[in-house]
Amino acid sequence: MSDSKKELLAGRVALVTGGGQGIGEACGRILAEYGAKVILADLNEKTAQAVADSLKAQGSEAAAMMFDVADFPHIREKVAQARSIFGRIDILVNVAGIAGTFSIEEITFESWDRMMDIDLKSMFFVSQAVFEIMKEQRYGKMVHMSSLAGQRGGRSADASYAIAKAGALNLSMGFALAGAEYHITSNAVCPGNILTPMGKTMSWSHVDPKTYIPLGRYGCAEDIAKAVLFYASDLSDYVTGDSMKVNGGIYM
Closest CA to 190 of 136, 250, 117: 250
Q: What angle do CA 62, 131, 38 make, to 5 degrees?
A: 5
* Whole-number pLDDT of residue 154: 82
Each domain of the chain, given as residue ranges in start order, spans: 3-246
Note the pLDDT tens digit of each residue in 194-227. Answer: 998 888 878 888 999 999 999 999 999 999 999 9
Q: Selecting from 3.90.1150.10, 3.90.70.10, 3.40.50.720, 3.40.50.2000, what CATH number does the domain 3-246 have?
A: 3.40.50.720
* Whole-number pLDDT of residue 183: 98
Residues 197 and 228: their CA atoms lie apart, in Å, by 19
- Given a cut of 70, is residue 2 above it in pLDDT? no
Mean pLDDT, residues 164-180: 98
Sign of the Cα torsion 90, 131, 76, 120 reads negative
* Whole-number pLDDT of residue 203: 80
User: Catalytic: which of 34, 139, 161, 251?
Assistant: 161
Question: Catalytic site residue 238?
Answer: no
* Whole-number pLDDT of residue 18: 98
Confidence of residue 68 (pLDDT cuts 50, 70, 90): very high
Note the pLDDT tens digit of each residue in 11-59. Answer: 999 999 999 999 999 999 999 999 999 999 999 999 999 999 999 999 9
Q: Which residues contact 163 (CB under 8 A, 6 or more apart)?
A: none
End-to-end, the C-alpha distance of the chain in Å comes to 35
Mapped onto helix, strand or coil, the DSSP state of residue 212 is coil
